Amino acid sequence: MKLLFIGDVVGKPGRRILARRLLGLIDQHQADYVVVNVENSAGGFGVTSPVFEELTELPIHCFTSGNHIWDKREVVDLLESEDRLLRPANYPEGAAGSGLYVGETAAGVKVATINLEGRVFMKSLECPFRTADRLLAGLDDDVKVVLVDVHAEATSEKQALAFYLDGRVSAVIGTHTHVPTADERVLPGGTAFQTDSGMTGPYESVIGMKADKVVKRFLRQTPFPFEVAKRDVRLAGCVITVDEASGRASNIERIMVKDEDP
């Protein structure tokens, strides 16, 4: 079977190319299960109810996120009512929502998605390594296919987690930095890995925001409002081939689609 993972969707440009190209990608790669990171889908920061409703009209099985999931107040209600919308599992007990979702393909194959957040250069959360241990131990025996979205700043932390989980999950895919890495590979134990899947949004930008706004913030070292860029819109992600009986991956392929491509 094949898993299709789409990296951080940024604002309206990201949502637009996702809507235009997702069906074609599913057909092209014969994808059985689709996971999309949507934490930047509403104006570049967070998720709103109307945006999530728009996204649920697409053939997406599970929606992952990261640290920006909390940027819109209404997300608490969304997380409590929409089990397919995840927040990182290693937030403290009592936080709204869940970091684990188990869905099924059209053929009835169960797929678990785990969402984790890194701690290096980020918040002081519970350990993502031990959180993964706990969640994996709680899965039913018939759940063999497991995809992990690790939303983290440090490449070393994402890579370390992938090796830690090698042989126990089907794939560990990094998000958050919005820059696709060229290190996709299958680790010795059968876990597919990419340090960062990249951004689905405008690439004539600084990680999705208009460059001039970001440059001013760096120059002045004072708050300056960001604005989602509009040009050179691309969709980034990866396709993972998995043996549904064992849960082991045999291949991972990077995807980068430009909005103007046929």
Residue 16 lies in a domain: yes
Range of the domain at 38: 2-202+231-258
In a domain, 220, yes or no: no
pLDDT (tens, 9 = 90+) of the chain, 262 residues, equals 999 999 999 999 999 999 999 999 999 999 999 999 999 999 999 999 999 999 999 999 999 999 999 999 899 999 999 999 999 999 999 999 999 999 999 999 999 999 999 999 998 899 999 999 999 999 999 999 999 999 999 999 999 999 999 999 999 999 999 999 999 999 999 999 999 999 999 999 999 999 999 999 899 998 888 999 999 999 999 999 999 999 999 999 999 999 875 4
Counting the structural domains of the chain, the total is: 1
The whole model's pTM is what?
Answer: 0.95
CA distance 148 to 112: 8
In angstroms, the Cα distances linking 41 to 12, 48, 86, 186, 199 are 7, 8, 14, 29, 11
- Annotation marks residue 178 as catalytic: no
Q: Exactly one of 61, 68, 151, 178 is catalytic; which is it?
A: 68
Domain membership flag for residue 208: no
Task: Say if 58 falls within a structural domain.
Answer: yes
State the CATH number of the domain containing residue 164: 3.60.21.10
Q: Is residue 186 part of a domain?
A: yes
Q: Is residue 176, in this structure, part of any structural domain at all?
A: yes
